[in-house]
Structure 1
């Protein structure tokens, strides 16, 4: 990893005909026309965003496009996880058709993970596939959901159960957009950053232990370095396993627990996705230690770092009632990672050494959940 970052740096996602660049730096939104102009067959784009992001970033994006003679029409959807729905997918697709978006055109997803997932899915099914550009405005989206081509919506059966693999044509990760995030939203995204160190780069996790507070407090160079390393790691895994047949499942460290907790809290503001990932990582390490797979001190180290960052760390940090351990296990059974009725867990032999397994005793999972629920008091 380099210690400094130019105004714009690039991570290449080498997927052959579907290859693309992730550009990382400050001010990319205001330079959007320069950054994506080479992709356009005609000087217009359709932008889909949400109300919260539109207030902050739509006009700078519009101006950045206009500076290069690119016109844009924008659809502004409601903010929140509820937007990843059939209703808003239909609305988005019909709006894009109203804009006469053609297969050679580009759709821009401006926002966090919800908008990126929804718009990417709309682009995947519109005219059997149109190109789209991700402009992620949250830390979580910059390091995770904008890279790798997973798109989708939620249904009453669970999270992300309907979707498609559809790679973006480019990603613009504007570090300066992170300055607009509320502290809680930034820390939620940090759960995904930390995940990369835990799953495959112990040195990165050690760097986060040292530099995490500076990153949290606004150090642009630290933020850029963390985003770049996270994107590098994700890109490397996606290139090896684009459609999650093997190694890509490692990226789900913490997510089996997380998705059950999100379902239990009604996909509401009680628990943000990245918060669920952070808590899920602590539970995955607790389960790994209980099974004798990793050192007994590893779960405490993970929890201590999250606590120092001021992030949500345990089930006790989730407000309101939670189901019992058996009910949480049933919610896990709805996870899209179930194969032949068996849950796949991402466990760890230590920090930086995660692996995928379906060989996890249900009783051990229940015991970890019972302990975590008991600690809520």
Structure 2
């Protein structure tokens, strides 16, 4: 088992990474304050893993909330199902919520924990690769709005993150690829050595090689933990974690949440960020080829949906959380492994890159 620590003073917490961890009571029980526990899962993950988790909780009993599966349900109506379960079971401020699921479950469970009686404990048990390397770590919680992704939420840290790679065995290949987008992101934005390792080992990750998975997940969590410790509420360096996300969120919002997986949209978004960086003279053509090749090996889209227009991209990006004082902010690449936040991209350069990607016709549906 590997352990990564997120250093946030009295709100620090461990990330446990390994095989068979769901069946380890010693990882769960120290982080539970009372006998009240609420497992929040969804209709896909619950039947697979909920009973195994319940066995690890020993005599801890309480509410069980099963949410509908999918990004399309990441909204107020679904969030209320968690509050309904807690209130019906008469849970108090000593309850502990456990998020058993992917990023949608983790984000909504965390937001519920931040809100219920003004804040209760919660534990993340991420079941997708994307949530294991990204959304379960760092305390970003929230829900979507029809006008924008993750526009409503809170920064709220878990007590622990328990990552069991065995849970990835039941994931469709498409979900693995979506998770690899976030893994690749860490290499591109600030870890050139890891990027080179990924180029040599991406096929092992696609094939779910256990040793490769544990290394990639640990390295990803270490990168994110370092950034979160330096900038918990995204006032500075944490914005670099949004590489590919300004473009990606526009894709998700336009196509409807869930039609493209989040990681697929981020993959196309990182490709667009690399192409825009080349347009600005920062990346060489050979660098863009490296990015494209790695994304292709991870089986991710490398272009915008051809059903979208430049104007649709611009409209969605104008209401993104990363807009600051009316100016679009992008995370771009000065070099592979060196990301920067910029807010002075020329409109003509942006339009050119978007139109070229849309016109390529490589990613209409996914």
The TM-score bracket by the shorter chain reads over 0.9
Match of 2:9 among 9, 16, 28: 16
In the TM superposition, what is the alpha-carbon distance from 1:296 to its structure 2 partner?
2.3
Answer yes or no: is 1:234 the counterpart of 2:219: no
TM-score by length of 2: 0.96
User: Is 2:100–2:106's contact at 8 Å kept on the other side of the alignment?
Assistant: yes
Alignment partners' CA distance in 2, 1:186 and 1:144: 13
In the TM superposition, what is the alpha-carbon distance from 1:72 to its structure 2 partner?
4.3
Alignment partners' CA distance in 1, 2:314 and 2:349: 11
Match of 1:26 among 7, 10, 19: 19
Answer yes or no: is 1:65 the counterpart of 2:68: no
Q: Which residue of 1 aligns with 2:267?
A: 278
In the TM superposition, what is the alpha-carbon distance from 1:41 to its structure 2 partner?
2.7
Alignment partners' CA distance in 2, 1:41 and 1:335: 37
Alignment partners' CA distance in 2, 1:268 and 1:14: 33
The 5 A counterparts of 1:1-377 are 8-31=1-24, 33-66=25-58, 69-269=59-259, 271-315=260-304, 318=305, 322-376=307-361
User: Is 2:72–2:256's contact at 8 Å kept on the other side of the alignment?
Assistant: no
Q: Which residue of 2 aligns with 1:4?
A: none
Q: Which segment drifts farther, 100-109 or 76-85?
A: 100-109
Q: How many aligned positions are there?
A: 362
Give a deviation string over 1:329-357, Cα, whole Å, max 9, x none: 11111111111111110001111000111
User: What secondary structure does 1:52 align onto?
Assistant: coil
User: Is 1:264–1:322's contact at 8 Å kept on the other side of the alignment?
Assistant: no
In the TM superposition, what is the alpha-carbon distance from 1:305 to its structure 2 partner?
1.3
User: What secondary structure does 1:305 align onto?
Assistant: helix
Give a deviation string over 1:123-173, Cα, whole Å, max 9, x none: 001010001000000000000000000000011221000000000010001
In the TM superposition, what is the alpha-carbon distance from 1:99 to its structure 2 partner?
1.9
Alignment partners' CA distance in 2, 1:330 and 1:201: 32
TM-score by length of 1: 0.94
> Which consecutive residues of structure 2, in runs of 5 or more, have no partner in the other structure?
none
> Which consecutive residues of structure 1, in runs of 5 or more, have no partner in the other structure?
1-7
User: What secondary structure does 2:41 align onto?
Assistant: strand
In the TM superposition, what is the alpha-carbon distance from 1:16 to its structure 2 partner?
0.7
